[in-house]
Structure 1
Amino acid sequence: MGEVAMGEAVITTRRQADGSMVVDVRGSLDSATVEPLREALLETMQRDRPTMMVVDLTYVTFMDSVGISALVAGQRAARDIGVGFQLRNPSEFVHRQLRVTGLTELLGLTGTRHFGI
């Protein structure tokens, strides 16, 4: 559906046949790149009202607390309008960041791979 460059990161959104929207994120999620992601998540949910919002983190190389905050904002917005929200394919680093903060379940990562710390 669209691609947005966010400095060192790129996001692409696409609708799947089942009505869900997939947001593919590539690069680093930090203070320099995260605001366009937050806006894309919120605008896509408001405009398209998908059945599920899936954020694919396969190619996210780094994420700090600001990136985590954007994902939590997306999850809250989805909950408020009745849209499912799920993260998919986090790298070991990203998964660890979310697990340390206690957010894996909130962000739909229960039952995913576990990494030793």
Structure 2
Amino acid sequence: MGEAVVTIRRQADGVLVIEVRGSLDAATVDALRTAILGTLQRERPVTLIVDLTFVVFMDSLGIGTLVSGHRAAREVGTRFLLRNPSEFVHRQLRVTGLTEMFGLPPSPSSAVTFSLSNGDL
């Protein structure tokens, strides 16, 4: 079991960002769940981003927490986005068939390919 640090910040455009660092597993998912649900209840933001740039490990409980957050956000009318999942986290979401639900490309490299091909239009 690892550690996770969860922080919440507001961007200049008003979007709330929950940044997660470390592992998302049985020992740490409660902090993320509390941050997501508390932020949705208190703030009711238009958009809530969960930044996964520095998540080094995520198990099924971490995935379940993100799915629960997505559902809770939908219930209050908040747009729920995942940002910068590490290759490991992206693979976990792809294997479970959740990349599309979270609006992620099928693979980390396809986002770059998509951007380059659109730039050529």
Could you say whether these structures have the same fold, taking a TM-score greater than 0.5 normalized by the shorter chain as the test? yes
Deviation, structure 1 residue 109:
1.4
Are 2:99 and 2:106, in contact at CA under 8 Å, matched by a contact in 1? no
Identity of aligned residues (%): 65
User: RMSD of the TM alignment (CA)?
Assistant: 1.6
- Structure 1 residue runs of 5 or longer lacking an equivalent are 1-6
Query: CA distance change for structure 1 residues 84 and 10 in 2, over 3 Å: closer, same or farther?
Result: same
Q: TM-score, normalised by structure 1?
A: 0.87
TM (norm. structure 2) is: 0.84
Q: Which structure has greater strand proportion? A: 1
CA change 1:68–1:49 in 2 (3 A) is: same
**Matched residue count:** 109
SS at match of 1:94: helix
1:99 Cα deviation (Å)? Answer: 0.3
Higher Rg: 2
Aligned structure 1 segments of 4 or more residues deviating by more than 3 angstroms = none
Which has the larger share of helix? Answer: 2
Whether 1:33 and 2:38 are equivalent positions in the alignment is no
Segments of structure 2 that go 5 or more residues without pairing to the other structure are: 111-121
